[in-house]
Structure 1
């Protein structure tokens, strides 16, 4: 009997941050379900955190074709690797990790695994394309940020030439932006990504993002975590740069739709870098339908003590129940805890539940949650859309600025609170979302959740695009 040929071997390399990794782990599991072999590469720093906060290996135990490997990011153990240090992480990956990656790719076959058929790398890691072309392996990029922000990045050369990024704090930040086609009627200067100091065109993050319009088309295709029905107009513009798009999102919901109810328990399937506190689910079980405002600013955003106190007063003063994620590192230092007044403490005891981290997808799917005060990270935005939960957006940096504007003005799924951190504004926005315009926002959010669900069903746009991606990877193996 003839031996069955080995399946394609896909090598996945995410940007080493929580959001991009979540998306790529979901993609890896989807490809495992399609019978592909996967090598998933993380940095040693990330690997250590995964082992501390979750048993990631248990998630993939049922997939013999999956292996998790680690590589040095070239930074010292005590490097913070947080938001403002992003460029240092990127520079070190390009300088120190690139040669290690090349060696790993050249020696990745053996036993029951064929040589690498295809690389799927985060599209901001341009050096991965250099390595792929040097050794002759096809590469597909995956951009885990929002398409609307990616399109702004592609337009950065025009924005710079037109002087629309030469800003200072005295400029009219509500002036409409003219050089991002398709957004001329609603995108304001204040909605553009924040690159370091206002007006600093030499900012390294800005220059890195500017390269994406030239970098991303180098790959054979571009995977996006969205669905055609949500981002269709923007996707048509992106296709002028990258014609071969695979829109296969929302990935977390796509994976859930593929898995059987008998699959591993929810708690063991997490890839969170923080320990999840599941006690919040019991607390939610005791709350009435759509009565709780859920608050989380993601895994990177930080607050000042003053901002924390303003949010706290605003939430307590609404009179609504609230579930709030306050990460251990969300405020520098610990002395802020001693500054919580008696009235805040009492108000929280009556109406609030505060934890260090939560299983967010499950929280947003809980019937007690009626609104989400969010930093507008793309994963959080998609999880809120799939949960049918309207949003109040308080963006922190990069794509979050653009996302929040699309939530309020394009998709009509909530309110944009950017550039404001005042207890009265917080209180009024929560009341508007949860009370004054509750029916309007709830109806729109539930409608969009149904659209997202349909795109994942047999014949839906994301369902078909995933199968096209798998078929294209299999064709690479045949051509090998």
Structure 2
């Protein structure tokens, strides 16, 4: 019987890569061969931190390959360009992707221009696990006889909201009225969340005008993309039943099968390098010099862009809160340019002992550090889960996509933090950060949730059991495809 060999293909964004690389590493730990597929641009950005062969010290059962995304290397690939990246990848990567899956007629191995040495010991690909944002990859694999499984890197609650978009239109809850008024009006059309969601808590795309373009209304296109995951053999979500049991129950009947296998960052052994930015490890030494639970960690992820006015409000709110803070400030994060003056402003306003700024941080190490007292975050799903695993209270300021609904769950369901969406005022920042740092109730909730999700990923826990079931499912698919 041929060995199971899974091709793992994330959408080429930092958050998607992180999540799916944890998944790939967990598969390797279960004895499965894995090929992890980057774009050529991202593999170049990773440089010496990843290569076409297994990194030193990692399992010989994992390798890294790449295909083109169709954009020039100097293209920004910023949050404003995501739809362009989406279209270009689908148009330009399909040929090399199919070549990777289709055996060569002479060697029985993948085509040489996209593969490593066929004598490396890797069996043929027997299963594809592709990001749900890449439906063309899932379809191509099935056409070539390779069973395909979808993976969505968002929360189950946000995925359910995407699936519910047609119902929201049917009920008249979408589109929103022009002008952005009434964002606190309740939303009844997402099953299981009728008493919870407000308009402002729906995924950010729901606020866009209902305009048509070459793919139809944006909201309807996203709903179709989510529903298309139901055509795959199964859907994998990086979540746990204890976090999102109701949402999972509503999603499951619409999928071929459903596996809730998270938080993956707590399940896998250390993964190979995945950061597209160079991490500044010096911030750990700075944290070492701070008192326990005294530091506010601030990071809005890999895509969020803020205005200079928003930067100023956050800065002075953090300074007024009176706690030392570690701020991840990407070079491309502040609109209209960012230069040394911004970094100097942090030091000047907060004092060198009160503030530390880095371009990118080793976030998991930061969140588990004894000095961190709360996390001011964009509420991306990876960050939300990483904070949950470490029991760190959060202040959520969502930027886009699924982050609006994630922040609602943090504040109103799990009660592990505070939801500050749609407000960027220094007085609110000061008040909210202080409450998150000082509230014994929020900290107790955060620590209780951490204990629960750690039980979920431990042997016999719900996520560990689901992952074991998934590995058996993949091995069965792999057998049927050979």
TM-score, length-scaled by structure 2: 0.91
Residue 299 of structure 2: aligned partner: 296
Deviations 1:138-164 (A, max 9, x none): 111111111111000000111122232
1:214 is aligned, of 206, 221, 227, to 227
Identify the match of residue 137 of structure 1 among 129, 143, 146: 146
Could you say which residue in structure 2 is the equivalent of 1:126? Answer: 135
Q: Are positions 1:64 and 2:45 aligned together? A: no
Report deviation, 1:65: 2.1
- SS at the partner of 1:323? strand
C-alpha distance 85-197 of structure 1, shift in aligned 2 (>3 A): farther
Pair 1:244-2:257 in alignment: yes
Match of 1:175 in 2: 185
2:93 is paired with a residue of what secondary structure?
helix
Deviations 1:397-451 (A, max 9, x none): 010011111110111111111111111110010111112xx21011110100011
Query: 1:82 Cα deviation (Å)?
Result: 1.4
8 A Cα contact 1:313 1:344, kept in partner: no
Residue deviations 1:24-60, cap 9 Å, x none?
Answer: 1111111111121111111111111111666796656
Q: Which residue of 2 aligns with 1:398?
A: 401
Residue 201 of structure 2 is aligned to residue 191 of structure 1: yes
| Pairs aligned (count) | 464
Deviations 1:219-246 (A, max 9, x none): 1111110111111111000012115111
- 1:447-458 correspondence to structure 2 within 5 Å: 447-458=448-459
Distance 1:471 1:279, change over 3 A: same
Q: Identify the match of residue 91 of structure 2 among 95, 103, 106.
A: 95
Change (3 A) 1:170 1:69: closer
Counterparts of 1:292 and 1:342, CA distance in 2: 19
For 1:117 and 1:245, locate their aligned partners in 2 and report how far apart those are by CA, in whole Å: 20
1:259-278 paired onto structure 2 within 5 Å? 269-278=272-281
More deviation in 385-394 or 27-36? 27-36
1:240 partner SS: helix
Instruction: Give the conservation status (yes or no) of the 8 Å contact 2:52–2:65.
Output: no
Q: Check the 8 A contact 2:29/2:268 in 1, yes or no.
A: no
Q: 1:357 aligns with which of 356, 360, 367?
A: 360
SS at match of 2:204: coil
Is the contact made by 2:175 and 2:207 (CA closer than 8 Å) also made in structure 1?
A: no
Q: SS of the residue aligned with 2:298? A: strand
Contact map agreement 1:316 1:344 (CA 8 A) in 2: no
Pair 1:57–1:290, CA change in 2 (3 A): farther
Deviation at 1:182, TM superposition (A): 0.8
The reply to whether residue 21 of structure 1 matches residue 17 of structure 2 is yes
Q: CA deviation at 1:390?
A: 0.9
**Tell me, which stretches of 5 or more residues in structure 2 are unaligned?**
104-108, 111-117
Determine if the alignment matches structure 1 residue 73 to structure 2 residue 76. no
TM-score after normalising by structure 1 = 0.92
In structure 2, the partner of 1:263 is: none
For structure 1, which runs of at least 5 residues remain unmatched after alignment? Answer: 260-265
